[in-house]
Amino acid sequence: MPKRVDHEERRTQIAEALIRVAGRRGLHAVGMRDVAAEAGVSLRLVQYYFQTKEKLLFYGLQHLTDRFTARVGARLAAAGPAPGPRATIEALLLASLPTDEEGRTFHLLYSSYSILSVTDEALAAQPFIDNPDAAENAVAGLIARAQESGVADPDVDARTEAISLLAMAATMGTSILVGQRGPESAVAVLRHHLDRIFRTGTPSPARDAPPS
C-alpha cells in the first residue's frame, strides 16, 4: 500500500528549507531549485506545491511569521500569567530584534521581502501582510489601556507612540544586523522609551532577562 502523503507537512518542509537558504544567501538570491536542494526533494515537487517563486516566498514568509508569533508567546509566558500592557509591548519589540539566529533570519527576510516588493510587481501582488496595521493597532491599544488604568502617561498620544516604537524597533534591528550597535544597546534604547511612556513603578517583569 503506498505511503499516504501529508501535504501540509511537505509544504512546511519546503518552507523551512526556503527560510534556511534565504537566511544564508539572502532572499533575492534564492531560486526554487536552491530550495529543492536544501529540502532534499525534486524541483518538480516544489513546483507542484508552489507554482511560482512568488507563491513559495509568500508561503515561506507566512510560516516564518507563525514562528515569530510563537517567539512572542514564549516571551509573554516567561513574563508571568498576567504580563500587563508594558510587558506585552516589550515582548513584541524585543522578539523582533535580531539578537539570535531566528531573530536575525526573521528581520533579514521580512525586510528583504518588503524592499523587493517595491520593484517586483509579482511579489507585491502576494498579500504577505494581510493587515499591515495589526501590530500598530495592538500596541496603540495596549498603551491606551495602560493610560486608562493609570500606569502610562495620560498626555502621550497612544497611536503616535505605537508608530514610534515599532519604527524604532525595526531601525534598531537593522543597525544590529549591519554591526552598527550591539543588542544590549538596542534593548536599552527601547526600554528608555518605554520608561518614558509608562509610569515609574511598573517595570517590565522580564527586565533582567537576556534578549532572545
What does the pLDDT read at residue 209?
46
Res 204 pLDDT > 70: no
User: Domain of 152?
Assistant: 7-197
Do the domain assignments include residue 208? no
Res 205 pLDDT > 50: no
Give the tens place of pLDDT for each residue, 73-127.
998 988 888 889 999 999 999 999 999 888 899 898 888 888 888 887 877 776 6
Nearest Cα residue to 59 out of 22, 99, 98: 22
Give the tens place of pLDDT for each residue, 121-178.
877 776 666 666 888 999 999 999 999 999 999 999 999 999 999 999 999 999 999 9
What does the pLDDT read at residue 130?
60
Q: Residue 45's domain is classified under what CATH number? A: 1.10.357.10
| Beta carbons of 194 and 86 less than 8 angstroms apart | yes
Do the domain assignments include residue 205? no
Identify which of 1-15, 71-85, 165-179, 193-207 has the greatest average pLDDT: 165-179
Cβ neighbours of 137 (radius 10 Å): 12
Do the domain assignments include residue 43? yes
Count the domains in the chain. 1
Grid cell for residue 83: 504580563
Do the domain assignments include residue 53? yes
Grid cell for residue 6: 501529508
Give first-to-last CA distance, the chain, whole Å: 46
What does the pLDDT read at residue 207?
45
> Across all residues in the chain, what is the average pLDDT?
87
Res 202 pLDDT > 80: no
Alpha helices in 120-182 (DSSP H): 121-124, 134-148, 158-177
Do the domain assignments include residue 1? no
Please, which residues have CB within 8 angstroms of residue 39's CB and are 6 or more apart in sequence?
13, 14, 16, 17, 46
Res 54 pLDDT > 90: no
Do the domain assignments include residue 211? no
Do the domain assignments include residue 154? yes
